[in-house]
């Protein structure tokens, strides 16, 4: 089965909180080429380690859910 990329200009994925499940999904989406990392966002409220994990593969990280929702 061929996996086709989603047109990046028309779709984004956002995760409220940046747990292990969000990380796994985001990494899979990026690794498969379905979406580039700059079209994926997450909100990290307090755990700076989680922020570093997501930033390490190019995901946009916000400090609040409100910032994420308005992006």
Task: Express each pLDDT in 11-52 by its tens digit.
Answer: 889 999 889 999 999 999 999 988 899 999 999 878 889 999
Whether residue 51 lies inside any domain: the answer is yes
Whether residue 1 lies inside any domain: the answer is no
Whether residue 5 lies inside any domain: the answer is no
Whether residue 4 lies inside any domain: the answer is no
Tally of domains within the chain:
1
pLDDT at 61 over 90: yes
Whether residue 57 lies inside any domain: the answer is yes
pLDDT at 8 over 70: no
First and final C-alpha spacing in the chain: 33
Whether residue 15 lies inside any domain: the answer is yes
Cβ contact 25:53 at 8 Å: no
Cβ contact 18:48 at 8 Å: no
The residue segments making up the domain with residue 31 are 11-70
pLDDT of the residue at 59: 95
For the residues 48-68, what does the mean pLDDT come to?
A: 93
Report which of 25, 34, 36, 33 is spatially closest to residue 59, judged by C-alpha positions: 36
What residues form DSSP beta bridges with 62? 43
């Amino acid at each position: 089965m061929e996996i086709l990329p989603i047109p990046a200009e028309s779709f984004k994925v956002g995760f409220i909180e940046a747990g292990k499940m969000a990380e796994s999904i985001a990494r899979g989406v990026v690794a498969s080429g379905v979406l580039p990392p700059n079209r994926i966002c997450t909100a990290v409220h307090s755990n700076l380690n989680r922020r570093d994990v997501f930033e390490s593969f190019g995901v946009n990280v916000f400090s609040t859910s409100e910032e994420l929702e308005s992006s």
